[in-house]
Amino acid sequence: MDKLRPLLILGTRPEAIKMAPVILACQARADAVQPLVCLSGQHRHMARPILDYFSITPDLDLDVMAENQTLASLTAKLVTALDQLVTEHSPDCLVAQGDTATVMTAAMIAFYRHVPFVHVEAGLRTGNLQAPWPEEFNRRVAGIVASLHCAPTAGAAENLRREGVPDAQISVTGNTVVDALRMTIERERANSAAWTKRHPNLAGAAPMCLITAHRRENFGGGMENICQAILQLSARFPEAQFLYPVHLNPNVRQPVNKLLGNQANVALLEPAAYPEFVWLMDRASVLLTDSGGVQEEAASLDKPVVVMRETTERPEVLDATECYLVGSSVERIVDTVSSVLERVGTDVTGKATDGDSGSAIIHSSLFGDGHAAERITDWMLKRIAGTK
């Protein structure tokens, strides 16, 4: 039998994290799979280091990013570039993860060219096209045309069934974010001394709040509210450390630098490399985020997480973990984080995080057991290679 030739496409940092295990699983099946890895360039400077960490070299780079370009311009570039790519390489299927412009356009080109589309992390829904925006639209488009829906949870699979997707096209694989986290966490716990040297203010027993906020729906007033909440929290808890790796988008950096740049216990960092961010998550007392992936990682690390969004496409975390959905309300953010910090006190690490024998090993979580990528690869071989 000829080898399966999937075209694996990614564009952003979260996609790189969640696609890396799939790429590695395909490469591990060199007897049956000949993967072609494409970086769209949507977030090249943030995605490349992730691939480097996992020793993945893209075969192709579309280089579509330009400063301050609109979503329409980005989408147009991606459609043209991906169409040409599929024409040149004639892959057996296109594989993409999540809900970005890269994913949506990959799904569209697969549909136009009659090539099977494999959607990793399929079935996530909020039911509101405006939140998250434009991600909810992107993943619904991908869901319309996907041949194989790799659902991370039973809830995501049920969303797909309600939309009329046949059971034969759905597989609950788990989320590849857990695969990536398991590959990384023990390695970085063992490297804890180096990270502590890089972050000497975290060497003591003070609580640490790790912050990420970058989603489009929070641009403007939402980001200002988040910054005002952090200002109040940093004043209320002067002994706590607030670490904020700030996204490169100027819509994030401008208000963050303006409002938080002069607080003694607020450290504004450049975007943290993935291994560093995993170590920081593991060290944190509480995470404040508007990220979807961080919700999954926090659940896997058994960390309290305050979600600064009005809705979440990962409702499992609200039922089964210490997760609080607060939106961008200053009052709700301050009250919720205060409650967590008052409770944790100086018990900042939860499960030990400095590489000792007491460190918690992630065996399983709400979002998988660390073997999602293997299941996805096996399913592609069964369903797509089996039809060649």
370, 302 contact by CB (below 8 A) = no
Tell me how far CA of residue 340 lies from CA of 204, 301, 302, 336, 378, in angstroms. 19, 16, 14, 6, 42
> What fold is seen in the domain 183-344?
Rossmann fold (3.40.50)
Active-site choice (15, 135, 188, 276): 135
Active-site choice (92, 99, 310, 316): 99
Q: Are domains 6-174+370-387 and 183-344 of this chain identical in fold? A: yes
What would the pLDDT profile of 245-289 be if each residue is shown by its tens digit? 998 788 888 899 999 998 899 999 998 999 999 999 999 999 999
Give the closest residue to 11 by CA, choosing from 94, 78, 80, 57: 78
Q: Which range has the worst mean pLDDT, 65-69, 171-175, 289-293, 328-332?
A: 65-69
What would the pLDDT profile of 177-199 be if each residue is shown by its tens digit? 999 999 999 899 999 999 999 99
Active-site choice (113, 161, 216, 383): 216
Q: Is 216 a catalytic residue?
A: yes
- Sequence-distant (≥ 6) Cβ neighbours of residue 178 within 8 angstroms: 296, 300, 362, 365, 367, 368, 369, 370, 372
Give the closest residue to 375 by CA, choosing from 183, 157, 176, 181: 176
Q: How far is it, in rounded angstroms, from Cα 130 to Cα 217?
A: 8
Please state the φ and ψ torsions of residue 60, each to the nearest 5 degrees.
-140, 150
One-letter amino acid of 323 = C
One-letter amino acid of 75 = T
Q: Is 135 a catalytic residue?
A: yes
Tell me how far CA of residue 178 lies from CA of 218, 278, 295, 327, in angstroms. 26, 12, 11, 25
- Sequence-distant (≥ 6) Cβ neighbours of residue 164 within 8 angstroms: none
Active-site choice (15, 121, 297, 374): 121
What would the pLDDT profile of 300-353 be if each residue is shown by its tens digit? 898 999 999 988 999 988 876 789 999 999 999 999 999 999 987 645 444 433
Q: How confident is the model at residue 366 (pLDDT cuts 50, 70, 90)?
A: confident
48, 12 contact by CB (below 8 A) = no
Active-site choice (13, 149, 214, 375): 214
Q: How far is it, in rounded angstroms, from Cα 306 to Cα 131?
A: 17
Q: How confident is the model at residue 43 (pLDDT cuts 50, 70, 90)?
A: confident
- Rounded mean pLDDT, 112-121: 98
Q: Is 247 a catalytic residue?
A: yes
pLDDT of residue 45: 79
Strand-pairing partners, residue 149, are: 119, 170
- Pick the residue with more confidence: 355 or 366? 366
Active-site choice (125, 247, 283, 371): 247
Please name the CATH architecture into which domain 6-174+370-387 falls. 3-Layer(aba) Sandwich (3.40)
Q: Is the bond leading into 207 cis (omega within 30 degrees of zero)?
A: no
Domain residue ranges in the chain: 6-174+370-387, 183-344
Q: Is 114 a catalytic residue?
A: no
pLDDT of residue 214: 80
pLDDT of residue 221: 86
Q: How confident is the model at residue 361 (pLDDT cuts 50, 70, 90)?
A: low
Using the predicted structure, report yes or no on whether residue 83 has a pLDDT greater than 90.
yes
The pair of three-digit structure tokens given for residue 87, joined into one six-digit string = 């024409």
